[in-house]
Amino acid sequence: MAANPMTQFEVYRIGPEIKVGAFDISFTNASLFMVISSLAILIIFNLGSKKNSILPSKIQLLAELSYSFVSKMISDTAGSKAKPYFSFIFSLFMFVLFCNMFGMIPYTFTVTSHIIVTFILAAFIFIGVTVVGFIKHGFGYLKLFVPSGVPIVLLPLIVVIEIISYLSRPISLSVRLFANMMAGHTMMKVFGGFVVSLGIVGGWLPLSFSVALTGLEILVAFLQAYVFAILTCIYLNDALNLHH
Amino acid sequence: MFKKLFLYSLIANFFFTKKIFAAESGGMPQLDPEFWISQIFWLVLTFGVLYIVLSKLILPKISANLELRKSQIQENIEAAEKQRESSEAKLEEFDGIILKSKIEAKNIFKDVREKIIKNINSKKEILDKQINDEIKKAEVEIDTLRQSAPEKINKIAVVTSAEILKKLIGAEINNSSISAIVDDLVKKNGEKYYGH
């Protein structure tokens, strides 16, 4: 086992190298866990929606509770207008949640601990939300940058701040998830290394810490997926219901 | 022995920690762009497939299941409500029927009673009339008997007097003279004999 806590984030090829033009799209361990997460989601929710009994089975209850959880989250933050985007936000939440959770299993790879993955997701959300905003409100969507009730003197400054904050959304969204996952996994690895190096005498303290961290990381894995989804809802809310 | 172990582990500790921190200079694999394109490609592919399958096949089914359950429960509640209402209406109807039949029974009882009383009264009247008639008839009979009694008695008195006289003195006396005497006596003592 490598002692470097960062080696767990290394991507390596599984199988042959696949090249399309100049691009290398080989199947890697990251791809493997993306496929596993997606398949797990599809299998669980397929089983959960297959039979409809008045008293739901456990897996059906799981699927239906997740459905109503995400549905409530969307309607609470973005209102009823966000209903057409339910499938997307549901898939997003489940994908991030399952990738995070699969990363908690030892010797697995955490897809969401890579900035490129989270950034692509965040950028897609950012572009999508902006497009939706412009389609719904035309150029009136730019009023988002001009809050009402602000003194004229402060307006230029506020508009600049608003634009910067709007443009930094994809970065903050992606870095939040990526940094949380990476930091948690690195910490666990470091404490795991301490257990080995301190041996039978001193290893108990980092071991207990590691156990506690595992619980915390599972919480973080869920929480970050939730935050990712709910921030998407909030951005969508800005685009759908222009409040300013 | 424990001391020795502790010492060894401390020394080992140093070695390992040194190794851990030494190896960290490799940097973050996340910033190595070698597999970025591959990761983007596979992310788009897997997430795209996930989104399409979820939104086209699975989520509508779950939503339909939830709707169906909701409507079924609603239907059951409505049916129960309807049945409760109908049972209440039936109970009311039942009460009404019982009330009506009670009144009817009372009416029938009253009617019958009245009829019986009337019947009894009419029968009584008829009986009274019959009795009165009988009484009257009897009275008339008695009256006639009474009126005819003195004459008969007179006759009997005349005949018996004649017989008696014949037996006593052996002489036949004219009936008319005897009856004249009897008439005379009746006239004199009629009040004493017949009470009028």
Q: Where do the domains of chain B lie?
A: 42-194
Cα–Cα distance for residue pair A163/A175, rounded to 1 Å? 19
Verify whether the Cβ–Cβ distance A23 to B37 is below 8 Å: yes
Name beta bridge partners: A28: A13
Question: Could you tell me which of A143, A101, A104, A99 has the C-alpha nearest to residue A121?
Answer: A99
C-alpha dihedral over A228, A232, A233, A236, to 10 degrees? 170
Residue carrying structure tokens 């989104």? B51
Q: Is the dihedral of CA A26, A29, A32, A37 positive or negative?
A: negative
Residue B23: closest C-alpha in chain A = A4
Tell me the helix, strand and coil percentages in chain B, rounded to 5: 95, 0, 5
Verify whether the Cβ–Cβ distance B47 to A5 is below 8 Å: no
Q: By the CB < 8 Å criterion, does A23 face chain B?
A: yes
What interface predicted TM-score (ipTM) does this complex get? 0.91
Which residue out of A71, A125, A174, A197 would a mutagenesis test of the B interface target, given it has the greatest number of B Cβ atoms within 10 Å? A197
For A129-160, letters b (16+ CB in 10 Å) and e give bbebbeeebeeebeebbeeeeeeeeeeeeeee
- In this prediction, residue B22 carries a pLDDT of 42
Verify whether the Cβ–Cβ distance B28 to A196 is below 8 Å: no
Residue carrying structure tokens 């019982």? B98
Measured between beta carbons, the chain B residues lying within 8 angstroms of A94 are 50, 54
Span B136-185, pLDDT tens digits? 999 998 888 888 887 788 888 888 888 888 888 877 777 777 778 877 87
Measured between beta carbons, the chain A residues lying within 8 angstroms of B15 are 197
Q: By the CB < 8 Å criterion, does A113 face chain B?
A: yes
The pLDDT profile of chain A, 244 residues, written as one tens digit per residue, is 446 888 888 888 888 888 888 888 889 999 999 999 999 999 999 999 888 787 888 999 999 999 999 999 999 998 888 889 999 999 999 999 999 999 999 889 999 999 999 999 999 999 999 999 999 988 888 888 888 888 888 888 999 999 999 999 999 999 999 999 999 999 998 888 888 888 888 888 999 999 999 999 999 999 999 999 999 999 999 899 887 5
Residue carrying structure tokens 């549905």? A71
Span B113-127, pLDDT tens digits? 999 999 999 999 999
Question: Could you tell me which of A128, A123, A38, A78 has the C-alpha nearest to residue B52?
Answer: A38
Measured between beta carbons, the chain A residues lying within 8 angstroms of B68 are 52
Smallest CA–CA distance, residue B79 to chain A, in Å, is: 17
Q: How far is CA B30 from CA A15, A105, B33, B34, B39, in A?
A: 21, 20, 8, 10, 11
Verify whether the Cβ–Cβ distance B66 to A86 is below 8 Å: no
Nearest to B16 among A38, A94, A197 (CB): A197
Cα–Cα distance for residue pair A86/B59, rounded to 1 Å? 9
Q: By the CB < 8 Å criterion, does B43 face chain A?
A: yes
Smallest CA–CA distance, residue A167 to chain B, in Å, is: 21
Cα–Cα distance for residue pair A49/B60, rounded to 1 Å? 9
- In this prediction, residue B161 carries a pLDDT of 81
Report yes or no: A11 and B35 within 8 Å, Cβ to Cβ. Answer: yes
Those residues whose C-beta lies under 8 Å from the C-beta of residue A56, and which sit 6 or more positions away, are A64, B69
Report yes or no: B75 and B83 within 8 Å, Cβ to Cβ. Answer: no
Report yes or no: A32 and B34 within 8 Å, Cβ to Cβ. Answer: no
Residue B50: closest C-alpha in chain A = A38
Which residue out of B58, B71, B77 would a mutagenesis test of the A interface target, given it has the greatest number of A Cβ atoms within 10 Å? B58
Those residues whose C-beta lies under 8 Å from the C-beta of residue A203, and which sit 6 or more positions away, are A194, A195, A196, A197
Where are the domains positioned within chain A? Answer: 7-240
Report yes or no: A191 and A14 within 8 Å, Cβ to Cβ. Answer: no
Smallest CA–CA distance, residue A198 to chain B, in Å, is: 5
Q: By the CB < 8 Å criterion, does A192 face chain B?
A: no
Instruction: State the angle between helix axes of A58-78 and B59-169 in degrees (0 to 180), rounded to the nearest 10.
Output: 110
Question: Could you tell me which of A199, A14, A130, A40 has the C-alpha nearest to residue B17?
Answer: A199
What kind and span of H or E run contains B181?
helix B175-194
